[in-house]
Structure 1
Amino acid sequence: MNDYKKWLTERFRIERQRFDRSGVYAYTQRAMAYNSNKIEGSTLTPEQTASLFDNGTLPQNDNYYRAKDVEEMNGHFLMFNCMIDTLDEPLTENLIKRFHHELKSGVFEDRANGYAIGAYKERPNMIGMYKTVLPNQVSEEMGKLLDWYEQQEKNLDVLAEFHARYETIHPFQDGNGRTGRMILFRECLINPDLKPFIILDVNGEKYIDGLKEYRENQKTEKLVSLMNQEIEDYYTQCKYFMND
């Protein structure tokens, strides 16, 4: 398992440095950016995402592109690179804020709306019908969450609970799911008993159900089951690149 993750991390760094758009780094960038943004309502297709990542352009289309979708896709690419660059750093509030800044700093709509970028939310927000932690309580609750997480033996149950609690806090005005899923990927890369995964948009309903299960019953069975499924899927995709 650790050999697999060592190989993966090395390939990410080497291929990124070489501007390689044909290997596992590019595959992961495209897949994670597409699926994580799609879960949040992005209208871009996998092909459009790939074109944006590969050469910074979008194919001609009779439909309009939403500027926010393009800006957030580019921001996700940058957030992934930031994650790779900071694997040796501890998971802290400041690091999570850096992820958010990379994701959102180029999004005009968020800036025009006065959203805090790379900083905790300043206005109350909700997840559907569910209230989240109030802005003046976010820093305290995030501190408690990270303190708790640091003391745990890292496994999927703990990771699922961390993620569900993070999403319940909803520390940012927008971009909580994407930063949260990036943290999941990162923690799986650096902890010896975990394997990385990407939550696919086709499993979005299972993902939402898993978060709901924790919010209502403090259980993580559905999230852990989904994570195990996604671990196998991502590993299968990575094995293709191991045969080069």
Structure 2
Amino acid sequence: MSIHPLLHTLRSQKREHISGGLYESLLYRMTYHSNRIEGCLLDPNTVRGILTRGVVQASEPVRVSDVLETCGHARALTYCIDTAEESLTDEYILHLHALLKMGQEDSGVYKTRRNVIGMTMTSDPKDVPAHMHTLLTEYTALSSPTFEDIVDFHYRFERIHPFQDGNGRVGRLIAFKECLRAGIVPFFIADTKKHFYYRGLHEYPTQPGFLRETCADGQDTVRALMTHFEVPEK
């Protein structure tokens, strides 16, 4: 199987430590927006400084947890790029969570306490292993996952909400990795679109098109970056 031009570019720029390229731009944009959706208070320039220069430079005091999770998200995203062709397994997802939440409580393990998404109930902790097994078995049986399949997996993963914290970020990272594996332009959700994203998740059982449209809009964001850096879609 040939490597998608986007994946090839990301890997080569990472390997060659290219500054100011697509890899660096996508790394800091996805990290900023995905963490911001979940309540991170760091501004874009602070996130860029942490990821490109290893410097925390901010006009106001910053939370240590925000810095840790900025580094963790970048570490997990890089892992997704490095391992894009690997099959999705329970162990892979747990490791991804461990990278995101490294050094923090409940890192790399499934939840032990109940949680919710807004007003929506999620899987009981005791049911998480079985629910994840079913989800992964059904998804990995697909020979060529489509964009719609990946969005559907994302919804079902978020509905299970297998971790105590970090579910949204891990779910979006998985979707990014699976798009790369399938040769599909990936998507990321901008913080400014989070209300559409949450509405899409909430209404998915009856109106799946809303979440698909929101994710497709996130695809256009990545396409714009690819066009800017002259990376072909195919």
In structure 2, list runs of 5 or more residues that go unmatched: none
- Conservation of the 8 A alpha-carbon contact between 2:87 and 2:140: no
In 2, Cα distance between equivalents of 1:208 and 1:148: 24
Which secondary structure does the structure 2 equivalent of 1:70 belong to? helix
What is the count of residue pairs matched by the alignment?
A: 230
Corresponding residue for residue 26 of structure 2: 28
- Give the letter for the 1:219 counterpart: Q
Corresponding residue for residue 138 of structure 1: 128
Is 1:147 aligned to 2:137, yes or no?
Answer: yes
- Could you give the per-residue CA deviations for residues 110-145 of structure 1, whole angstroms, max 9, x where no partner exists? x2xxxx211111111111222211111101000100
In 2, Cα distance between equivalents of 1:81 and 1:199: 18
Larger displacement relative to structure 2 (155-164 or 180-189) = 155-164
Is 1:97 aligned to 2:94, yes or no?
Answer: yes
In structure 1, list runs of 5 or more residues that go unmatched: none
- Give the letter for the 1:95 counterpart: Y
Corresponding residue for residue 231 of structure 1: 219
In 1, Cα distance between equivalents of 2:5 and 2:124: 42
1:18 offset after TM fit, Å?
A: 2.3
Corresponding residue for residue 55 of structure 2: 57
Instruction: Considering Cα pairs closer than 8 Å and 6+ residues apart, tell me whether 1 or 2 has the greater RCO.
Output: 2
Corresponding residue for residue 166 of structure 2: 175
Is 1:158 aligned to 2:149, yes or no?
Answer: yes
- Give the letter for the 1:105 counterpart: M
1:186 offset after TM fit, Å?
A: 0.8
1:6 offset after TM fit, Å?
A: 2.2
1:91 offset after TM fit, Å?
A: 0.5
- Conservation of the 8 A alpha-carbon contact between 1:160 and 1:220: no
Larger displacement relative to structure 2 (79-88 or 145-154) = 145-154
- Give the letter for the 1:37 counterpart: N
In 1, Cα distance between equivalents of 2:218 and 2:79: 23
- Give the letter for the 2:162 counterpart: P
- Could you give the per-residue CA deviations for residues 2-57 of structure 1, whole angstroms, max 9, x where no partner exists? 98x72221221122122223111101100110010011011011111111111111
**Structure 1 vs Structure 2 CA RMSD:** 1.7
In 1, Cα distance between equivalents of 2:29 and 2:199: 22
Corresponding residue for residue 129 of structure 1: 119
- Could you give the per-residue CA deviations for residues 88-113 of structure 1, whole angstroms, max 9, x where no partner exists? 21001110111100000134xxx2xx
In 1, Cα distance between equivalents of 2:201 and 2:121: 14
- Conservation of the 8 A alpha-carbon contact between 1:75 and 1:106: no
Q: Which runs of 4+ in 1 moved over 6 A?
A: none
- Conservation of the 8 A alpha-carbon contact between 2:176 and 2:186: yes
1:218 offset after TM fit, Å?
A: 4.3
Alignment partner for residue 70 of structure 2, among 44, 65, 73?
A: 73
Which secondary structure does the structure 1 equivalent of 2:197 belong to? helix
- Could you give the per-residue CA deviations for residues 149-177 of structure 1, whole angstroms, max 9, x where no partner exists? 12335222222211111001000110000
Is 1:86 aligned to 2:83, yes or no?
Answer: yes
Is 1:210 aligned to 2:208, yes or no?
Answer: no
What TM-score do the two structures reach when normalised by structure 1? Answer: 0.89
Q: Structure 1 pair 161/219, CA: closer, same or farther in 2 (3 Å)?
A: farther
- Conservation of the 8 A alpha-carbon contact between 2:185 and 2:222: no
In 2, Cα distance between equivalents of 1:80 and 1:34: 12
- Give the letter for the 1:173 counterpart: Q
